[in-house]
Amino acid sequence: MLGEKMSLSHLVEYQKGAVVSKTLIDKSSGTVTLFAFDEGQGLSEHTAPYDAMVLVIEGLAEVKIEERLFKVEAGETIIMPANKPHALRAPTRFKMLLVMIKS
């Protein structure tokens, strides 16, 4: 995949009742992972030791950071700060790119 043009929305497909992920880059300095969330699926509240940027590619995501709820649509991004509790939920199916920079 390196050095090749690609369409992010076609690299991962929805699966009924599931969250599907595909890691595009996995380095000691960070990761880039593509996700497809079926309607009603999500990631439960957790923390991460690094800032994480979510870029919604398709659909609508609900992103909770601490006690604030954000609706993030296709083409929009949000940064989840390190060490702050956050969660994601799919009110409708959505795809996102997650970028975590560790250093």
The residue ranking higher by pLDDT, 48 or 1, is: 48
Tens of pLDDT, residue by residue over 25-58, are 999 999 999 999 999 999 999 999 999 999 999 9
Q: Which whole-number Å values give the CA distances from 75 to 12, 36, 49, in the listed order?
A: 17, 15, 26
CATH number at residue 57: 2.60.120.10
Q: Is residue 26 part of a domain?
A: no
Q: Do residues 60 and 93 make contact, with C-beta atoms less than 8 angstroms apart? A: no
- Taking a C-beta distance cutoff of 8 angstroms, is the pair 87, 64 a contact? yes
How confident is residue 103, by pLDDT bands cut at 50, 70 and 90?
confident
98 vs 9: CA distance, rounded Å? 13
Is 64 a member of any domain? yes
Q: Is residue 22 part of a domain?
A: no
Structural domain of residue 49, as residue ranges? 32-101
Domain total in the chain: 1
pTM assigned to the model: 0.92
pLDDT, residue 59, reads 98
pLDDT digits (tens, 9 = 90+) for 59-85: 999 999 999 999 999 999 999 999 999
